[in-house]
Amino acid sequence: MNARSRPNALVLFTVFLCFQFFEMIRSDGDSDLLYVMNIVAPALAIAFMLPMLKRVEAGKRRFWRLIVFTLVLETLAQSMWAASDWIWQTPTPELSAADVLWLLQSGLLVVAMAQLVRGGKERFRLVTDSLSLLVSLLVVSWEFVIKPAYTDAWTEGIDLSVAVNMLYPIADALMLFILFIWVLNSDRLYSRAARSYIVLAFLLYIAGDTAYWLFVDIRELDIEGYLDACWSVGAFALALACMHEATDTRNAASNELPQQNRVFQMIKFGVPYLGLMIVTGIILIDRMNPFIQYALLFIVVLIIIRQVLFFAERERLHERLQSTLAMTEFVARHDGLTGLLNRKSFLEKLEASIDEAARSGEQVAVCYFDLDRFKPVNDQYGHRAGDLLLQAVADRLRVLQEENVTFARLGGDEFALIMEHATRARVGQLAASIAACLSESYRIEELELHVSSSIGVALYPDHAAMSVELIQLADAAMYMAKRKGGCQAVFAPAQPGG
């Protein structure tokens, strides 16, 4: 099967459901054909899903295998339920084998849904959010549905069938709880179409189970035939979700909008407070019920935990943002190979130093130097050896770092430094130390390399008043040092009228 099979499956499922609805209305929800269709629906979904399992990503395959197994249980349960009329022709007992299979299916659906929320950056905070809403829904269900429905059972004793029936709303509440977490979780690995079908399927299963428990089990209304369509549509929705996940070649994450909708954000952050409002409203009606008061206390504790998690998460994000900004600024201002200032930052620093020197009446020195005999190293040993040599040079320059001295790599094997509050003697001493230090041999991997450095020096305001002129004069002085044999520092000549 491929992506073209999805429309065919959708048409087939639609036709099947139309016939099922027609037969449901014609027979008033009770016919042998409906029994057959209830068995065929999950079996048909399985038939479409099985060929798709091997095409689903390995990390998602467990979820879909569990879903297939739940549909197998659904098929068996429907078959046993029909067999009681067709083969045995006996009244269905209060607790039949089919009921056990359906209960196992509900439990397995909860386990399958748990596979969806194993990860996610906001998982723990979303769990507290959803749990507060779950508690409020359980309180409402207990006080206004379950407790009144089983009033006689509390006094006469709860038998096995009643206990089993009470497990359905618990399983449905757990499914709704996990569904909330998954929908609100920003880490979604499934495609948008698959997510939509999964949500639809589980909501239909929850609605069908709840309606069956409330109207058939409790109120004993003969409407189960009308509820079968919920499970048929749910099974087909799961099949379509699996087909989308297996045949959608695009990355699910690429389908996401860059920003979440504002309404969705309001719902996402308002979930715990909705639960608080529900339970508070119930207390206004029945303020003496200790069970509801304890539930309210539990929700308040959850909200406090949620707020702590929220602020801790925000603090982590803030620290990560600050670290990222610092790293970005460092990368923008520094040379990627040596970690020294790059040319742009060097020029900005020089302009700022000259402006400060102009106000204080002090001097600024610029040294411009490169490596003698660097090109033969690159030519003979390759660019890797050359890069390692440049990094070793930068390390030696850091050792020579002084107060008010800034080193930079301008490009290639060209380096420079700025000395603030400079004097001719101090900059001359530092330049000589650089020439001597850089001329010592280098051990690069298995190689022993020898280079030296020629250094040109220019002073503000003695040689020039502009940063560009200072650099040009220092560059010219460097070439004078090279002509004198290298491995030395030369000051720029005094300018006429200086």
Give the dihedral sign, CA 215/218/221/222.
positive
Task: Please report, to the nearest 10 degrees, the dihedral formed by the alpha carbons of residues 294, 295, 296, 300 taken in order.
Answer: 100
Asked, as a colleague might, if the bond just before 461 is cis with ω within 30 of 0, I would say yes
pLDDT of residue 446: 83
pLDDT of residue 396: 93
Decide: 474 and 416 in contact? Cβ < 8 Å: yes
pLDDT of residue 147: 64
What is the Cβ-side half-sphere exposure of residue 276, based on CA atoms within 13 angstroms? 16
* Topology at the third CATH level for domain 343-491: Alpha-Beta Plaits (3.30.70)
pLDDT of residue 431: 92
Residue 289 phi, psi dihedral angles, 5° rounding: -80, 110
Per-block average pLDDT, block size 10, for the chain (498 residues)?
70 89 83 86 92 83 91 91 69 70 86 70 58 67 63 52 69 77 66 86 87 74 78 91 76 45 53 61 60 66 68 77 86 89 92 92 93 87 90 92 90 92 91 91 88 92 90 92 87 69
What span, in angstroms and rounded, lies between the C-alpha atoms of 470 and 465? 7
- Give me the residue spans of the domains in the chain: 5-119+187-256, 121-152+260-333, 343-491
Nearest to 177 by CA among 188, 185, 187: 185
pLDDT of residue 416: 94
**Angle between helices 97-114 and 58-86 in degrees, nearest 10:** 170
Decide: 175 and 155 in contact? Cβ < 8 Å: no
* pLDDT tens digits, 266-313: 555 555 566 566 666 666 565 556 666 666 667 666 766 666 666 677
pLDDT of residue 30: 76
* pLDDT tens digits, 303-318: 666 666 666 777 778 8
